[in-house]
Amino acid sequence: MKMLARSFLVIFFSGLFPVAAWPQGGSDPTLIEGAKKEKRLVHWTTMTLSQSKQVVDAFQKKYPFIEIDLFRTGGDAMLNKIFTEDRAGTHLWDVLLTRGDMFLPLMQRKLLAAYRSPETKKIPADLFDKNGYWTGYYVNPYTLGYNTKWVKKEEVPKTYEELLNPKWKGQKISVDNTSYNLLAGLITAWGKDKAIAYFKKLAAQEPSVMRGDTNRVQLAAAGEFPLIISFAPIIQRAASEGAPMDWVPLEPVSTQINPLLLGAKSAHPNAAKLFIDFVLSEEGQKQLVGLSRIPVREDVKPQPARLFGGYKRIVENPGEYENFSEVIKLYQEIFNVR
């Protein structure tokens, strides 16, 4: 995550892949005409299947002439499937929605094409690639949740340092055993040495370490532990449903991007670009709000709006995951994850 490494990657990839020409307002009519001829779209995603189905149904209602093939699986399984098919000379998917750490492996294998949607006019600059190789669809900020029956609002830690207070030692803080992105974000914000030193102190608090954000939030609501580091939308969803939960941002808030990626060998590139334009449009982003997700557009606010505003954030740029395997190893060593 050194600045030199980042600069090299930007120059290297910019040289390998020409920047695409893109329209500057609304979906290009030629995309619609091209999509009518293609008649099909293959969309692979790591987003929850029930929600992904709602998204593609809305797209198909708007463009009924496009038949959609939707496939959903986890990130690691997705990457393995793509690489296996690439080795076999098969390239089935057109547009991919996945984790940010999958961007570089796909980019390095020349499996991505550039497309900067005209909808990026309404998206903050840190949430899309200026060269068009990825665009955030929704984000997940890491925040500190707390059980409102256990912890008074004025006693909730307001900074990372306050989490190290001895009163929170001994299974009182829930930490996910795969929150590598949290460490990655704070390395970017603080530098490697400071971030690692902090996480070692956090581990010394003897937190409860287990996998699964939704499951952990449910356990926190049931009183298993008073504090939990998790994604804000999941905590907020529980609170909105009546659970005794609330959350506060610890600045800088490490923010995970879930990007949209266009396949370099897409068989239906016009339909894929049309889909990207749709999900990034005001209509598409408002649908995300209804799914309790955090949209990336400036003119579409999550519910409540504080989910993505009023705090300093550090966005985990998908192009800066070159040392992610090292981050995973460090995280596992610090929290003794096997």
Best CA proximity match to 160, nearest among 180, 172, 143, 148: 143
Give SS3 for 100.
Answer: helix
Average pLDDT in the 276-282 region? 97
Q: Tabulate helix, strand, coil % of the chain (nearest 5).
A: 45, 20, 35
243 and 282 inside one domain: no
Is the pLDDT confidence value at 14 over 90?
no
Is the pTM of the predicted complex or chain greater than 0.85? Answer: yes
User: Total domain count for the chain?
Assistant: 2
Is the pLDDT confidence value at 165 over 60?
yes
161 and 85 inside one domain: no
Structure tokens at 243: 């659970």
Rounded to whole angstroms, how far apart are CA atoms 9 and 108? 10
Asked whether residue 310 is assigned to any structural domain, the reply reads no
31 and 159 inside one domain: no
Average pLDDT, the chain: 91
- Whether the upstream peptide bond of residue 252 has omega within 30° of 0, thus cis, is yes
27 and 120 inside one domain: yes
Backbone angles phi, psi at 308, to 5 degrees: -140, 55
154 and 235 inside one domain: yes
Give SS3 for 45.
Answer: strand
β-bridge pairing 95-97 and 112-113: unpaired
Is the pLDDT confidence value at 16 over 90?
no
Give SS3 for 218.
Answer: helix
Is the pLDDT confidence value at 2 over 50?
no
Query: Where would I find the H helices in the chain?
Result: 3-16, 29-38, 49-62, 75-87, 103-108, 180-190, 192-203, 213-221, 232-240, 269-280, 282-290, 324-334
- Which residue has better confidence, 69 or 8? 69
Structure tokens at 111: 């499996």
Find the CATH number of the domain harbouring 299: 3.40.190.10
Residue 161 burial (CB < 10 Å; 0-12/13-18/19+)? exposed
187 and 60 inside one domain: no
Q: At what angle do helices 232-240 and 213-221 cross, to 10 degrees?
A: 40
Query: Where would I find the H helices in 191-312?
Result: 192-203, 213-221, 232-240, 269-280, 282-290
Is the pLDDT confidence value at 3 over 90?
no
204 and 100 inside one domain: no
Asked whether residue 237 is assigned to any structural domain, the reply reads yes
Asked whether residue 46 is assigned to any structural domain, the reply reads yes
Asked whether residue 318 is assigned to any structural domain, the reply reads no
108 and 144 inside one domain: no
215 and 108 inside one domain: no
Best CA proximity match to 39, nearest among 18, 24, 16, 60: 60
Asked whether residue 322 is assigned to any structural domain, the reply reads no
State pLDDT tens for residues 42-86: 999 999 999 999 999 999 999 999 999 999 998 889 999 999 999
Which structural domain range is residue 228 located in?
140-254+328-334
